[in-house]
Amino acid sequence: MATKPDSVFRSLDRKAAAIVEFTLRQYRTRTSTWVVLGVGFTALALIFMIYIDVMGSEFESIDNDGDSFDEDGDGYPSGQERRLGTDPFSDESHPGMFDPPIEPEPASNYINEDGFDWDVTGSSGSDSTGYDNDGDCLNSNKTASQKDTNENGIPCDIIVQITTSPSGEIITKVIADAGVDEDPDEDAYSREATHLAFVLSIGKLGFVLLLGIFLPLFLATGLIRDEMTSGTMHFMLAKPVARSEIFLYRVLGYLGIVWPYIIALGILGALVSGFVGSGDDFFRFADLGVWLAIIFATMMATLVYGMLFNALGVLWKYGIILAIPFAAWELGMALLSMGAPDSTILRFSVIGWALMIVDSAAMMVWPNLDVFILMGEWGGGGQGSDIFGSSSLRGTVPLYFFSSKPGLGLSGFASSIVATLVLLVQAVVFWFIGGALFKGKEIQ
Amino acid sequence: MIPDFDQQGQAQTKEWTPDVQAPAILLENVSKSYGRIFALSNITLALNGGVTGILGMNGAGKSTLFNLLMGKIKVSQGSIKLFGTNPWKNPAPYARVGFVPEHEKMYDWMTAHGFVSTFARLNGLTRDEAGIEADRVLEFVGLTDVAFKKIGQFSKGMRQRVKIAHALVNDPELIILDEPLQGCDPLARTTIMNVIRELGKMGRTVLVSSHILQEIERITEQIVILHQGRLLALGNLHSIRERLDQIPHRISIEAENPKALAKDIIDIDEVFGISFPDGRNVSIQTHNLGAIHARLPKIIVENGHKISAIDNPDDDLASILGYLTNGGRV
């Protein structure tokens, strides 16, 4: 047998390995483990099925600027008349009177005829962008002032203004010259927006919140408590291992089953959304960064909650009852983080920091997300394609809801590092508390 | 600082230096109270070497004493030392201790070998060493044949022996057994008693608790009697025991075929009465419990009787306690 240099550390990790292995095998023999993991998988699978269904369906094209109608009944769609310079509101003026006469085009040519051509990055300031694809702005019959209705001296463009008010609020404004990017392609935009919204919502709610809280709630609360209740704790306590070590190693054993499960589900999610998601490419490689962050954030959440719930289990026989208010608080914080990611109260939660990791990654991977949302909200500037009279395109509202800025005002990378460190500190604090509680506990 | 993933080779770590001068167990004026109820009051006791029986009725404080020794509960007053170290503050002395808890619940999904070797690793042994040690102790308690069977399939006696094996795996100097014979069949009793006697001969300090006098009597003469949390008597049992033989005793045996068993038992001279309280049990009456207990296992084995439980409903300890607390009147 090979002899290895020995140290206190070696002896410790022998004990750690024994307890971790033991804990893993114990989980494997319990039906409850498989039920919890199975329910988690089923819940996420259902959400993914909805996602696949939505992405597989056609997004209805809308004539955002209303120029596919033949207002004056002369057989020519308004858009064609406008482009060729005849009066769209008079049946005595139409391109059929030209020499040679021009045949009317089908109305469908005037739906989605002028899509987004924005190349601004979304940094603050005022930018000029956009291009008139269908030529109804660049029309040679128009005067220079008609071509520059936003009065910035550039004909047929769009002003995208992002300014910060003195109170720190970000104000965005889109001012377009008439007829520029006024009829975007709904299918292209909404498909992309829906995809992004789905990745963020599955990541934040499905993974970080649902898995992040429910796995530890059902799997970590009994790590010490169940052994105390059944009397089998005596075997472990009769060995030269400190109680706070047992506490830690049991949590490591729990992570040994929970982390691979999260990684497997995360990879599955990345594959499904990568293949099914919008875009011309075969696979959306860029999204992998966000999925990585989702997996990592969920792992961190299960670590912190694992320590916390295990400690609650040590504290009281019905630790799971103590854990429920925490779970409710965290659910509230998760929703708050989507609406108001700057709230100070979020700093007193676990989920706020975990979601910050996802938001940071989204900011890094999709740098144009803000402009993209702005685009959807503006939606061509037309009047009310939906019942609320808003011109925003389908998919914008959920994307707006589920995406948020990491609230620290730092760069994406910096805020993800800060969030990770905070979560680690939280885990260590809960370990100390749990270890101390366990150490002071009289076990009959 | 690379973790020892493969865990081969030998462990030599000693994280704790024991006080070689100190006795295995030292209690000084130890009291343990729950509110106003004293579970133990003012116990002073030093034990080192040999087998000691801790006798007491249910609730006398045996388990409280063991829980204190095993650092599971905290003393209310006084001081408790295991090899010179307070076990509530420091679990290090357990490197030299083996403990057999009273609780019946075990990890039924583990094999005997898996259970013993897993917990051996908590003593800092490598995986290799733990496997070898598990083989050794399972042979010592006579479970080599079933070492790789699940504990859930074991009888009570076998489970007790697995627990004892697990406690011996670190070659401890102090072994504490909480009611190791409770509910065991005669064969397992004999094996366990032999194991305990053997440990005593090896110079280990052994503590065995029981509420049945005859069990302890067959293992050791050095006893500690606890009654209502107080140390009632300490020393040799022999002299007290002689006087008690005049009282009639009963033994109750739960058997598959009680009538056939009774037929074989009636031949023992010391038996003066047999009755059948129900379809499953035989009740034997005798003046000499020791003689019956000595001959019973042989009769059962030779005639192939199937026994599921054996019990002394007349708690002789009650008689002893009566004798000790009432100034000699039985």
Q: Closest approach of chain A CAs to the CA of B13, in angstroms? A: 6
pLDDT reading at A206 higher than 90: yes
A441 to A176, A250, A317, B95, B289: CA distances (angstroms):
69, 17, 12, 21, 43
Predicted confidence (pLDDT) per residue in B287-329, tens digit: 777 778 778 888 888 888 888 777 766 556 666 676 666 654 4
Highest-scoring range by mean pLDDT, A70-79, A359-368, B230-239, B301-310: A359-368
Is residue A393 within 8 Å of residue A184, measured between CB atoms?
yes
Cβ of A243 and B91 within 8 Å? Answer: yes
What's at B238, amino acid-wise? Answer: H
A155 to A139, A182, B107: CA distances (angstroms):
11, 15, 80
Highest-scoring range by mean pLDDT, A61-75, B139-153, B224-238: B139-153
Say which residue, A149 or A200, is predicted with more confidence: A200
CB environment B93-114: b (16+ within 10 A), e (fewer): bbbbbbbbbbbeebbeebbbbb
| Token digits of residue B173 | 């100097």
- Looking at chain A, the whole-number percentage of residues with pLDDT higher than 70 is 94
For residue B55, what is the enclosing H or E element? strand B50-55
B241 to B66, B219, B330: CA distances (angstroms):
25, 14, 12
Q: Which of B1, B2, B4 to mutate to test binding with chain A, by most A CBs within 10 Å of its CB?
A: B4
What is the predicted pLDDT for the residue at A8? Answer: 57
Cβ of A6 and B71 within 8 Å? Answer: no
| Token digits of residue B190 | 């004999």
Largest CA distance in chain A: 104
Beta bridge partners of B223: B53, B235
Beta bridge partners of B311: B252
Domain boundaries, chain B: 25-240, 248-313
For the beta sheet containing B77-82, the strands, ordered from the edge strand earlier in sequence to the opposite edge, are B37-47, B25-34, B77-82
Give the nearest chain A residue to B172 (CA atoms).
A239
Q: A91-100, A162-171, A380-389: which range is least confident on average?
A: A380-389
Q: Which residues contact A28 (CB under 8 A, 6 or more apart)?
A: A257
The CA distance from A30 to B20, in Å, is 45
What is the predicted pLDDT for the residue at A439? Answer: 92
Interface of A with B in 208-237 (CB under 8 A): 230-232, 234-237
Interface of A with B in 124-183 (CB under 8 A): none
CB nearest to A231's CB, from B99, B105, B167 = B105
Domain boundaries, chain A: 11-59+187-439, 78-110, 125-180
Mean pLDDT over each residue of chain B, to the nearest integer: 84
What is the predicted pLDDT for the residue at A110? Answer: 82
Q: Which residues contact A90 (CB under 8 A, 6 or more apart)?
A: A72, A74
A406 to A121, A369, A435: CA distances (angstroms):
18, 13, 33
Q: Closest approach of chain A CAs to the CA of B187, in angstroms? A: 25
Burial group, residue A382, by CB count within 10 angstroms (0-12, 13-18, 19+): middle
Q: How confident is the model at residue B239 (pLDDT cuts 50, 70, 90)?
A: low
What is the predicted pLDDT for the residue at B1? Answer: 42
The mean per-residue pLDDT over the stretch A77-99 comes to 81
CB environment A391-405: b (16+ within 10 A), e (fewer): bbbbbbbbbbebbbb
CB of A17 within 8 Å of a chain B CB? The answer is yes
Cβ of B107 and A3 within 8 Å? Answer: no
| Token digits of residue A277 | 């998601």
Mean pLDDT over each residue of chain A, to the nearest integer: 86
Say which residue, A176 or A5, is predicted with more confidence: A176
CB nearest to B121's CB, from A7, A15, A232 = A15
What is the predicted pLDDT for the residue at B294? Answer: 79
Backbone dihedral angles phi then psi of residue B92, each to the nearest 5 degrees: -55, -40
What is the predicted pLDDT for the residue at A29? Answer: 93
The CA distance from A140 to B172, in Å, is 101
CATH 3.30.70.100 is the classification of domain B248-313: yes
A361 to A51, A200, A319, A386: CA distances (angstroms):
21, 11, 34, 32
CATH architecture of B25-240: 3-Layer(aba) Sandwich (3.40)
Say which residue, B18 or A89, is predicted with more confidence: A89
Cβ of B72 and A21 within 8 Å? Answer: no
Partners of residue B70 in chain A, C-beta under 8 Å: 234, 237-238
Predicted confidence (pLDDT) per residue in A257-274, tens digit: 999 999 999 999 999 999
Is residue A293 within 8 Å of residue A172, measured between CB atoms?
no
Burial group, residue A439, by CB count within 10 angstroms (0-12, 13-18, 19+): middle
| Token digits of residue B59 | 């609730």
Give the nearest chain A residue to B109 (CA atoms).
A29
What is the predicted pLDDT for the residue at A421? Answer: 97
The CA distance from B8 to A436, in Å, is 33
CB of A240 within 8 Å of a chain B CB? The answer is yes
Q: How confident is the model at residue A295 (pLDDT cuts 50, 70, 90)?
A: very high
Predicted confidence (pLDDT) per residue in B153-186, tens digit: 999 889 999 999 999 999 999 999 999 988 888 8
Scanning B207-257, the segments in alpha helix (DSSP H) are 213-219, 238-244
Q: Which of B122, B159, B207 to mutate to test binding with chain A, by most A CBs within 10 Å of its CB?
A: B122
Predicted confidence (pLDDT) per residue in A114-160, tens digit: 777 777 766 667 777 877 877 777 777 778 788 888 778 788 888 88
- Please identify which residue in the block is written with the tokens 């058997």: B255
Is residue A229 within 8 Å of residue A316, measured between CB atoms?
no
pLDDT reading at B83 higher than 60: yes
Report which DSSP code applies to B111.
B
Query: Cα angle vertex B147, ends B128, B66, to 5°?
Result: 85
Scanning A30-89, the segments in alpha helix (DSSP H) are 31-56, 78-84
Say which residue, B3 or A238, is predicted with more confidence: A238
Q: For this complex, say whether ipTM is above 0.90.
A: no
Partners of residue B92 in chain A, C-beta under 8 Å: 240
Report which DSSP code applies to A60.
P
| Token digits of residue A434 | 């749990």
The mean per-residue pLDDT over the stretch A331-352 comes to 88
What is the predicted pLDDT for the residue at B148? Answer: 95
Q: Closest approach of chain B CAs to the CA of A3, in angstroms? A: 5
Burial group, residue A336, by CB count within 10 angstroms (0-12, 13-18, 19+): middle
pLDDT reading at A388 higher than 60: no
Partners of residue A442 in chain B, C-beta under 8 Å: 72-74
Predicted confidence (pLDDT) per residue in B12-69, tens digit: 444 566 666 778 899 999 999 988 888 998 899 898 888 999 988 888 889 899 999 9
For residue B31, what is the enclosing H or E element? strand B25-34
Partners of residue A227 in chain B, C-beta under 8 Å: none
What is the predicted pLDDT for the residue at B329? Answer: 45
The CA distance from B53 to B168, in Å, is 18
